Amino acid sequence: MRALAYHGPKNVSVDEVPDARIERPTDVLVRITTTNICGSDLHMYEGRTGVEEGKVLGHENMGEVIEIGNGVDRVKVGDRVCLPFNIGCGFCKNCESGRTGFCLTANPGNAGAAYGYADMGPYDGGQAELLRVPYADWNALVLPEDAQEKEKDYVMLSDILPTGYHGTELAQVGIGDSVVIYGAGPVGLMAAMSARLRGADQVFVIDRQPDRLKLVEAMDATPIDDSKGDAVDQVLELTRGEGADKGVEAVGYQAHDHAGHEKPGMTINDLVKAVRPTGRIGVVGVFVPEDPNAADELATKGQFAFDFGTFFFKGQTMGTGQANVKQYNRQLRNLIHRDKLNPGIIVSHELTLDQAAEGYQRFDDRESGWTKVLLHP
């Protein structure tokens, strides 16, 4: 089959690789119809993870089931499914309590497994013609009859929509809240959509890319361009000097100032300033325990100076981590089915698998207008 493989920093290509196949009775085999490029893929693409060469990437996957293992009961051949990026077993302590992003058995020695991702287990990704789905009865979300018609919307259930939602859940965004979101990439935009869904009053999203800030308006939220003045000051001004009730981090460890200098602690420390005393902060942007290619010594160990004094003094709370996609994808699917959510509006490009390398390069360059890229193998 053809699949997008990692070969080194900024070097990916579509290669002929052995077909994905059923390996265990609980697997199904999916013919991929849509698979997205994610901001998380860019950390690998830029050589900022320990991903091994030859790894097939792709964790935002949707397609048609073409074969099922002997132990699969629920999922049927012909089903259209969207796969959570996390792979869970369904029977460990964390999966049982809904924390499927931290499965204790699917990636032994670590908490959490995923398709096509650094340190997330031996699983190949779905930027390919075929994908093996482990524990399919547990993991696969079966889609209704409008699956193909709303493919662009449903495929967002694999990661960014539940992840944006998870940010608002960690921050406990509720009715009438003001919310400040750092990052207007796909995850930040989905966090804004989710904050609206949860009844927030004011929703501010900070970035400096004009095309992305424009999409913030499409989310019925207020864009804040931090290249045009201090973003914290702007949030304080818009919240009577108090700060926002809730905050969401959707940038991650490669956060940079608008001159382009990477500062991994920048958004976290700014959130502590921009959120009011006793406010809650949800961090879904990725941070890593090791970053050997980071610019400074502390950052190579995944560390940065955190303004803990102010955080404590303000009595704030912070929640972190990978999104447990399965906790939300069924409910969000229903809202898409009933035309109450349309996350596909952020999609800017739909490419063939053969155009994937170009898609990576242009999305990574944050080229104007490249807000979310879908591949159709």
Ligand X SMILES: NC(=O)c1ccc[n+]([C@@H]2O[C@H](COP(=O)([O-])OP(=O)(O)OC[C@H]3O[C@@H](n4cnc5c(N)ncnc54)[C@H](O)[C@@H]3O)[C@@H](O)[C@H]2O)c1
In the complex, the residues that contact ligand X under the rule CB under 6 A are 38-40, 42-43, 159-160, 163, 182-188, 206-209, 212, 226, 250-252, 255-256, 266-267, 284-286, 322-323, 366
Phi, psi of 222 (to 5 degrees): -100, 115
- 151 by DSSP, 3-state: which? helix
From the list 17, 22, 42, 92, which residue makes contact with Zn ion (rule: CB under 5 A)?
92
Closest separation in Å from C-beta 339 to Zn ion: 24
Which amino acid is residue 193, in one-letter code? M
Task: Answer yes or no whether residue 325 interacts with Zn ion by CB under 5 A.
Answer: no
Residues 6+ apart with CB under 8 A from 317: 279, 280, 281
Task: Answer yes or no whether residue 188 interacts with Zn ion by CB under 5 A.
Answer: no
Task: Answer yes or no whether residue 37 interacts with Zn ion by CB under 5 A.
Answer: no
Cα–Cα distance between 238 and 244 in angstroms, integer? 9
Task: Answer yes or no whether residue 159 interacts with Zn ion by CB under 5 A.
Answer: yes
Residue 323 interacts with which of ligand X, Zn ion, none, CB < 5 to 8 Å by class? ligand X
Residue 191 interacts with which of Zn ion, ligand X, none, CB < 5 to 8 Å by class? none
Cα–Cα distance between 246 and 248 in angstroms, integer? 7
| Helix residue spans in the chain (DSSP H) | 39-45, 93-96, 136-139, 151-154, 160-170, 186-197, 210-218, 231-238, 266-274, 297-300, 308-313, 329-337, 356-364
Residue 267 interacts with which of Zn ion, ligand X, none, CB < 5 to 8 Å by class? ligand X
Cβ nearer to ligand X, comparing 144 with 229: 229
Size of the site for Zn ion (CB under 5 A): 9
Selected range binding Zn ion among 54-62, 75-83, 173-181, 215-223, rule: CB under 5 A: 54-62
Task: Answer yes or no whether residue 89 interacts with Zn ion by CB under 5 A.
Answer: yes
From the list 75, 103, 325, 353, which residue makes contact with Zn ion (rule: CB under 5 A)?
103
Closest separation in Å from C-beta 107 to ligand X: 15
Separation in Å, CA 41 to CA 188, 286, 305, 328: 16, 11, 26, 22
- Parallel, antiparallel or unpaired: strands 222-225 and 203-207: parallel
Angle at 26 between CA 21 and CA 32, to 5 degrees: 45
Selected range binding Zn ion among 111-119, 153-161, 292-300, 311-319, rule: CB under 5 A: 153-161
Task: Answer yes or no whether residue 111 interacts with Zn ion by CB under 5 A.
Answer: no
Task: Answer yes or no whether residue 40 interacts with Zn ion by CB under 5 A.
Answer: yes
Binding residues (CB under 5 A) for Zn ion: these are: 38, 40, 60, 88-89, 92, 95, 103, 159
